[in-house]
Amino acid sequence: MDTSPDAPETTARARLAALAHSPWPVRAAWLILPLVTGPAIGDALADASRPVQSVASVGAWAGWAAVLVATLVPTTVSLTALRVAAPSAVVAALVALVADGTGPATVVGVAGALVAALAALAPETAEAFVDGSSYGDERRLPLRTPAGLLAGPVELAWSAVAAGIATGPLLLAAGRWIAGLVALAVGLPAAWWGVRVLHTLARRWLVFVPTGVVVHDPLTLLDPILLRRNLVAALGPAPADTRALDLTGGAPGLALEIRLAEPVELLPAAPRGATAELVEVGAVLVTPARPGRVVAEARRRRIG
């Protein structure tokens, strides 16, 4: 038993670190969200008609409750729900700020929504929720989103979901029947498309399994590829002169190289209109959300 003076402090730090890397920060932020943003949004809706107030309130509470339940069951589906709902809360709080000015309620509302959004989009949250979909002795670690998608397509997909869900019901509540029906007819398919796009981003990961490591990335691979432990010669930061096959998709951050003892065949995703072809590679590049965790897990499992 360790009776040194540093033992309690070390244990406390370890527990705090484990808590920070768990779903609890985002759960707490989402739980208190109505308390900090509710008053501001309520004031912003004060001049709207009663039906609009009712539809907006019921929709907001239903969405909040659904996401709160989702945070209690960490999965990739829950992560997608968080990534849709948290930015929506920020937009709603900013609209309230514009409508009512910079009063205490609106400032607190924006701050609370930003905290919830930052927690929802944090790499630690992504890791906890992605790994929640693991089976047995697996460890799933998320990959970073490509920079090209962050510079417009992701925001477009999110806008399609948020606007597609909210616009139609609010127009109908306001008595604008034709516009509301058109918005529903256009918005719901657009929202479904946006959800599928965002969920694809949540399903990009490395999976450590007893037999090796799997690269699962629908954006760069048509089929997941298992790199068996006996074939992985090294796994670590990519050298500047690497000639490995780039599976990062242009994602920012530290790229890791998985170097193989002998070549394997894989099927990279081809550009639209082109035919995918098998290629033989001796190394691949990936960009995890938290590269240090990937390297540590590989060492723990004695891979590479």
Give tens-digit pLDDT for 221-249.
999 999 999 999 999 999 999 999 999 99
- The 3-state DSSP class for residue 270 equals coil
Alpha-carbon distance of 206 to 216, in angstroms, equals 6
pLDDT above 70 covers a percentage of the chain that reads 96
pLDDT greater than 60 at residue 262:
yes
67 and 155 co-located in one domain: no
Please state the domain count of the chain: 3
1 and 135 co-located in one domain: yes
pLDDT greater than 80 at residue 272:
no
DSSP class of 273: T
pLDDT greater than 70 at residue 15:
yes
186 and 240 co-located in one domain: no
Domain C-terminal end among 185, 203, 221: 203
Q: Is 122 exposed, middle or buried (0-12, 13-18, 19+ CB in 10 A)?
A: middle
156 and 51 co-located in one domain: no
Q: What is the pLDDT of residue 13?
A: 75
User: Would you state the structure tokens that stand for residue 84, as one six-digit string?
Assistant: 């849709």
Confidence of residue 1 (pLDDT cuts 50, 70, 90): very low
Q: What is the pLDDT of residue 6?
A: 52
Alpha-carbon distance of 263 to 281, in angstroms, equals 5
DSSP class of 192: H
Confidence of residue 11 (pLDDT cuts 50, 70, 90): confident
What's the mean pLDDT in 111-115?
A: 95
231 and 295 co-located in one domain: yes
Q: What is the pLDDT of residue 9?
A: 56
252 and 176 co-located in one domain: no
Alpha-carbon distance of 195 to 79, in angstroms, equals 11
Domain C-terminal end among 203, 229, 248: 203
What's the mean pLDDT in 254-274?
A: 89
253 and 264 co-located in one domain: yes
7 and 126 co-located in one domain: yes
The residue range of the domain holding 14 is 1-142
259 and 221 co-located in one domain: yes
What's the mean pLDDT in 71-93?
A: 95
Cα 250 to Cα 62, 145, 222, 254, 287, distances in angstroms: 37, 8, 17, 11, 9
Q: In what order do the strands lie in the sheet with 225-228?
A: 139-142, 205-209, 212-216, 225-228
Confidence of residue 10 (pLDDT cuts 50, 70, 90): low
Q: What is the pLDDT of residue 8?
A: 54
Mean of all residue pLDDT scores within the chain: 91
Confidence of residue 251 (pLDDT cuts 50, 70, 90): very high
148 and 250 co-located in one domain: no
65 and 166 co-located in one domain: no
295 and 175 co-located in one domain: no
What's the mean pLDDT in 256-282?
A: 88
C-alpha of 65 from chain center:
19
Alpha-carbon distance of 116 to 111, in angstroms, equals 9
- The dihedral region occupied by 138, where left means phi > 0, alpha psi between -120 and 50, and beta the remainder, is beta
pLDDT greater than 80 at residue 169:
yes
Task: Please tell me which residue, 278 or 289, carries the higher pLDDT value.
Answer: 289
Domain C-terminal end among 203, 230, 254: 203
Cα 295 to Cα 141, 292, 301, distances in angstroms: 11, 5, 10
